[in-house]
Chains A and B, each alone.
Chain A
Amino acid sequence: MKGTEAFQELLPLLGDEPVVHANGFICRESFNLKDRPANFYMIGSMGLASSIGLGVALCKPDRKVIVLDGDGNVLMALGTLAMIAAEAPKNLVHVVIDNEVYESTGKQRTLSNTVPLEQIAKSSGYREVARVDKKEDIKPAFEKMLNSQGPSFLLIKVEPCFDHKTGRVTHTPEEITERFMKSLHRPAAGGN
């Protein structure tokens, strides 16, 4: 499965959940496929999507919060997996698109071809962990995590596919802050 296909499967499953995006390919792919106000696009500060998501999840316990992360970002902040496991927010779903490379900088390899990230999450103490490599397995795995107690960790193995013609996020960082905050102030639509 190509990275884009994973996004095509995943994004239609989202409701009004806040989604914190890791920088690089993750931001750009998601922005171009389906932009939404509840998307926080982290364009710099690599490694911090998971800690930003943890902060949101702890302060908004009535909302399901999703972190859309990449393998490079997770590896840069492995300690944050321990923080998430220790704080154990029931409302956090950590999705990792694992293409085994730093895709937007030219596909240099990460370590996730040999180091199974979902095993690290499991040993850290995430309540639910799954690894999928088939497109059709994404929907059931993600929906299960949306409807059960977290923290959960969904690793989606993909092949690199990033097209450098894919545009960057066009909102300014300040606009991203404003619309994300506004979307969070709305009461949740569902009964998470």
Chain B
Amino acid sequence: MSSLTSQTFVDRLIRENFKFFTGVPCSLLSGVISHLEKVECAKYIPSVREDSAVGLCAGAYLSGTLPVLLMQNSGLGYCLNAFTSLNLIYRIPVLVIMSWRGQDGKDAPEHIIMGDISQKLLETAGMDYSVLKPENFDQVLATAMQKINEEKLPYTLIIEKGLFDERH
């Protein structure tokens, strides 16, 4: 198993044919976004809000391009209506890379509640996810690809602090 870094992560997603990346930054994803800005065979588009990024990804998918949405879990609230009234009912998949602020109640105050409930919110909406670890990457990516390609539904990879390098 090769080590999981921002670079190996992005390169692997591109090999899985994800060519369209958009989102709203999080410090936990800063290394990933920084690498995305450098690669030539994929596009990273800064979104102003997480739900706009959901729309952008939907447009990409409808055009035949597999999309990735990157965001902090604070953006999940903005996205819920888009996920439930667009992606889930139209069968428009997207790979969501969602950083986990407020994990175990240890973070700035604004992250504590969402840190506690973001996985419960995904479950309530009927959206599958995995917490990404270096040792489960192959397995969760296979699960995600099955969800996206076969069931045409979104799948979320949750990113804990420290998994990727931070650049700020």
In the bound complex, how far is the Cα of B39 from the Cα of A41, in angstroms?
A: 34
Per DSSP, are chain B's interface residues mostly helix, strand or loop, or mixed? Answer: helix
Instruction: Report if A181 contacts B (CB, 8 A).
Output: yes
Instruction: Report if A173 contacts B (CB, 8 A).
Output: yes
The segment from A28-36, A76-84, A147-155, A157-165 found at the interface with B is A76-84
B55 near A50 with CB under 8 A, answer: yes
Which residues of chain B are near A20, meaning CB under 8 Å? 59
A40 near B62 with CB under 8 A, answer: yes
Interface string of A151-192 (1 = CB under 8 A from B): 000000000000000000000011011001100110000000
Instruction: Report if A15 contacts B (CB, 8 A).
Output: no
B64 to chain A, nearest CB (A): 7
A52-B59, A54-B59, A59-B64 as given contacts; A83 in contact with B90, CB under 8 Å: no
Contact of B51 among A47, A49, A53, A177 (CB under 8 A): A47
Chain B residue nearest to A50 (CB atoms) is B55
In the bound complex, how far is the Cα of B85 from the Cα of A20, in angstroms?
A: 15
The segment from B7-15, B40-48, B114-122, B126-134 found at the interface with A is B40-48
Which residues of chain B are near A58, meaning CB under 8 Å? 20, 43, 45, 56, 59-60
A173 to chain B, nearest CB (A): 4
Which residues of chain A are near B75, meaning CB under 8 Å? none
B55 near A45 with CB under 8 A, answer: yes
A83 near B86 with CB under 8 A, answer: no
Interface string of A50-92 (1 = CB under 8 A from B): 1111111111100000000000000001011011001100000
A54 near B85 with CB under 8 A, answer: no
Which residues of chain B are near A174, meaning CB under 8 Å? 89-91
In this complex, the member of B49, B62, B86 whose beta carbon has the largest number of chain A beta carbons within 10 angstroms is: B62
A173 near B48 with CB under 8 A, answer: no
The residues of A with any CB-CB pair to B shorter than 8 Å are 20, 40, 42-60, 77, 79-80, 82-83, 86-87, 173-174, 176-177, 180-181, 184-185
A-B contact pairs, 28 of them (CB 8 A): A43-B85, A44-B86, A45-B51, A45-B82, A48-B54, A50-B55, A51-B51, A51-B54, A51-B56, A52-B56, A54-B59, A55-B58, A55-B67, A56-B63, A57-B59, A58-B45, A58-B59, A58-B60, A59-B60, A77-B49, A79-B49, A80-B55, A174-B90, A176-B90, A177-B62, A177-B92, A181-B62, A184-B63
The residues of B with any CB-CB pair to A shorter than 8 Å are 20, 43, 45-49, 51-65, 67, 81-82, 84-86, 89-92
